[in-house]
Amino acid sequence: MQRHEQIRAWLDGIERLALQRSGPIRLMEVCGTHTTAIFRSGLPSLMPSNLQLLSGPGCPVCVTAQSEIDAMIELARQDLVLCSYGDMLRVPGIRGSLEQARGQGADVRTVYGALDVLRLAQSEPTRQFVFAAVGFETTAPATAALILQAQREGVCNLFVLTAHKRVLPALQALLSQDALPLDGIVLPGHVSIVLGANAYQELPDRFRLPMVIAGFEDWQLLQAIHHLLEQRIAGEHRLENLYPQAVLPAGNRSAQAMLERVFESVSAPWRGLGEIAGSGFGLRAEFADFDAARQFHIVPKASRAHSACRCGDIITGRAQPFDCALFARTCTPLHPLGPCMVSSEGTCQAWFKYRRTAAMELTR
Amino acid sequence: MSATIQLGHGGGGQLGDELLRELLLPRLGNRHLNDLLDAATLEASGQERVALTIDGYVVQPTFFPGGDIGRLAVSGTVNDLAVCGARPIGLALGMILEEGTAREDLERVLDSVATTAREAEVEIVTGDTKVVGRGAGDGIYLTTAGVGLVPAERKLHPKRCRPGDVVLVSGTVGDHGMAVMLAREMPEVPSQLRSDVAPLQRMILQLLRELGDDVVFLRDPTRAGLAGVCADLATNSDCSVLLDESAIPIRPATRQAADLLGFDPLEVANEGKVVAVVRAGAVERALECLRENKYGRDAARIGVLGAPRPNAIARCEVQTRIGGRRFLSKPYGELLPRIC
């Protein structure tokens, strides 16, 4: 079948299947890149009215706890170079963002990859460099590689503030919460390449939910939605890997080995989900010399986001962007109040940028 | 002259004269520039209006695949004139150089300015040189102001747009921004990406000659890319804009680089493309005309204007490859620093 015929078949199938349920059908993805890809492809506009596509805690910037963000900004204000991925720059902290700190004289530099920090540290040996390491299992291996390389080359002016998180514990915590009835999960793309399909094996049975690993192309997302719906209406709950060309059953073993070598599982704070045991990556004792928190005496302080910001609810699917009083009014991409609006993978930014809501279209 | 730029070269004295004599005049000299007066006087007939534009160029790196700051400084300003329907008649070139810049680099840039100006059929008629201390600048900064003449009857304006008018683009989008970004951030990655930087006055003026009033509006999609131009069009005309995603030409290498670096090609700068809004009946002629020019070979029809929407949010939309719809909005801000 030609691709466009296949697409038509899946769209018709989704329409047909959705009719078999009178109430709402809720499918959730847990990958920021999926969030953006879904909106950019125009999929929400093609779904039957009772089918909701929800975003879960899949945006690495969005799930970073306020206390972690404030720690980064506090570090930036010291006499060192803070390196971070671009998306972190505009996230509001208690006393402004990293970008604002830079405007006030802090040395904050954007990097595209973790190893860039090594090059920078080596080129300026008299300065201390701190890398704000954010992200899931997709970016954590690069941080591990950075630390191993720095150790091999005897680099002493490089430190890492680890805020990496593990997706599986958060997904399990979310699904155990019972708060929101879901009908299926689109499992992350890039994270799955590292973890492997087998990592999710027991989840569909445990939570009695169909789960599908999906790629990022428009047709792959459509296929994923179709297959989830098909399973759900048939009363099935299986794991399907629809991205087998990239996601192997055992995943990327060398990436896993690097993670195992450098990190150990620790408890970590998640925006919207609180503290989750075993959900963070902490540096093993052998690499304590690279720990920025230890070097610069950073003590995690409980901080609060803007009081009306509902990012925490939005990234757990308990609310949608237009449920937040700030959305598109005082909180916009130009003047963001929370990470979901700042991040290019944030739910609120995706909604604002690509498709606010039909309700807003009618009322304006 | 010395092998590197010194502070004195910007002082307007004998050292400065040496730079002009040895580097600039041999490459850019003409009857206006040779006199080295503070201003050049240019001829205009009574019926024409004068178009004036200015742009600063701070691109990093100075030399990138497909071009350099010199080619950019001429093309960018010439294109800004051309999209107003103006025939460029003179450029003023301002240079702010960092002390210690290699003479060889400046010569290469000036060669590029000369070549591109010849292609753009325009002369550098006056200019200025300043030198700042080491660390106070960053290599070479250029500013070009351009003057052009617009025939009295030409009126290109978003308010002339009507529902049913068609949106064209002269070729592939996202090439310049991605080429510069990749060269800067991942120089070790081998790539076919090239900036599309080019002066388009010949192609644009030919289009205007052939189609006349059937060309309603022109804009070059530089910073903020195609998305910026179309979002602005939707705001400033009294029409909605609907683009067809599968019709927008994008090079595979550009798309790959954009995916790698996390950008949307529609939001990335172009320096050798034009977006044209033409009356529906003139589309075929317009495409034929653009495609005759080497810079317009991939020209395509990419969208259509529709009735105005009361809701400002949804004025500019894209019909996606799978038949869905999504908004197209203007990018927030500094997506890609220092690409122009």
Q: Does pLDDT of B338 surpass 90?
A: no
Count the alpha carbons within 13 Å of B126 in the hemisphere toward its beta carbon: 11
A354: nearest CB among B319, B326, B332: B326
Contact A355 B320 (CB under 8 A): no
Q: In this prediction, what percent of chain A has a pLDDT beyond 90?
A: 72
For the cut 60, the answer to whether the pLDDT of residue A187 exceeds it is: yes
Computed over every residue of chain B, the mean pLDDT equals 93
Q: Are strands B124-132 and B87-98 parallel, antiparallel or unpaired?
A: parallel
Give me B216's structure tokens: 């309603």
Tell me the average pLDDT across A130-135. Answer: 95
Mean pLDDT of B130-157: 94
A274-283 vs A81-84, strand pairing mode: unpaired
pLDDT at A363 over 60: no
Residues A182-198, mean pLDDT to the nearest whole number: 96
Closest CA to B223 of B251, B263, B189: B263
Tokens 């308010």 sit on residue: B159
Q: What is the pLDDT of residues B199-208, one digit of tens each?
A: 999 999 999 9
Count of alpha carbons within 13 angstroms of residue A182, beta-carbon side = 30
- How high is the pLDDT of residue A305? 67
Q: Sort out which chain A residues have CB atoms less than 8 A from B316's CB and list them.
A: none
Token pair 């790629």: residue: A215
No. of helices (H) and no. of strands (E), chain A: 17, 11
Query: What pLDDT is stored for residue B334 in this prediction?
Result: 62
Residues 122-151 of A with CB under 8 A from B: none
- The minimal CB distance from B322 to the residues A222, A361, A364 is found for A222
In 3-state terms, what secondary structure has residue A38? helix
Q: Of A324-328, B126-130, B292-296, where does mean pLDDT reach its minimum?
A: A324-328
Specify the pLDDT at position A358.
45
* pLDDT at site B286: 98
Contact A188, A345 (CB under 8 A): no
Confirm whether the ipTM is greater than 0.90: no
Q: Residue A364 pLDDT more than 50?
A: no
Give the pLDDT score at A295: 94
Indicate the pLDDT class of residue A357, thresholds 50, 70 and 90.
low
What's the pTM value of the predicted model, to 2 decimals?
0.88
Asked if pLDDT for residue A5 goes beyond 70, the answer is yes
Token look-up 């290019």 returns A344
Q: How confident is the model at residue A136 (pLDDT cuts 50, 70, 90)?
A: very high
Tens-place pLDDT, residues B38-57: 888 888 888 899 999 999 99
CA dist A293 and A304 (Å) reads 20
pLDDT (tens digit per residue) in B55-96? 999 999 999 999 999 999 999 999 999 999 999 999 999 999
DSSP strand pairing (A263-270 vs A274-283): antiparallel
Would you say B67 and B108 are in contact if contact means Cβ atoms under 8 Å apart?
no
Condensed to tens digits (0 to 9), the pLDDT of residues A45-77 reads 999 999 999 999 999 888 988 889 999 999 999
In the block, which residue shows the tokens 């800067």? B184
Residue B313 C-alpha, separation from nearest chain A C-alpha, in angstroms: 7
Query: Using the beta-carbon criterion (under 8 Å), do B323 and A360 form an inter-chain contact?
Result: no
User: Could you tell me whether strands B49-57 and B140-150 are parallel, antiparallel, or unpaired per DSSP bridges?
Assistant: antiparallel
| Positions of E strands within B58-86 | 63-64, 67-68
CA–CA separation, A332 vs A342, rounded Å?
8
B323 and A361 within 8 Å at the Cβ level: the answer is no
By a Cβ cutoff of 8 Å, what residues of chain B touch chain A? Answer: 185-186, 261-262, 264, 310-314, 318-327, 329, 332-333
What integer pLDDT is reported at residue B326 of this predicted model? 92
Nearest to A224 by CA among A174, A185, A175: A185
Instruction: Report the distance separating Cα B156 and Cα B83, nearest Å.
Output: 8
Q: What is the pLDDT of residues A81-107, one digit of tens each?
A: 999 988 888 888 888 899 999 999 999
Q: Which residues of A touch B327 (CB under 8 A)?
A: 353-356
HSE (side-chain half, CA atoms, 13 Å) at A358: 6
pLDDT of residue B80: 96
Helix segments in chain A, DSSP class H: 3-19, 32-40, 60-63, 66-76, 98-103, 115-123, 140-152, 167-176, 190-195, 203-207, 218-233, 253-262, 292-295, 311-314, 339-342, 347-354, 358-363
Q: Can you tell me the distance from the alpha carbon of A167 to that of A169, in angstroms, rounded to the nearest whole number? A: 6
Candidates A115, A117, A140, A131; CA nearest to A257 is A140
Q: Which of B259, B326, B327, B336 to mutate to test the interface with A (most CBs of A within 10 A)?
A: B326
A192-239: pLDDT as tens digits: 999 999 999 999 999 999 999 999 999 999 999 999 999 999 999 999
pLDDT at B260: 78
Can you tell me the mean pLDDT for B118-128?
97
Average pLDDT over residues B328-337: 73
Mean pLDDT is lowest, of A119-123, A214-218, A353-357, for: A353-357
Q: Is A102 on the interface with B (CB under 8 A)?
A: no
Q: If you average pLDDT over residues A140-151, what whole number do you get?
A: 97
* pLDDT given for residue A333 in this prediction: 86
| Those residues with Cβ within 8 angstroms of residue A83's Cβ, 6 or more apart along the chain or in another chain | A108, A109, A110, A111, A116, A117, A120, A129, A130, A131, A132
Q: Which of A361, A164, A355 is nearest to A268 (CA)?
A: A164
In this prediction, residue B313 carries a pLDDT of 64
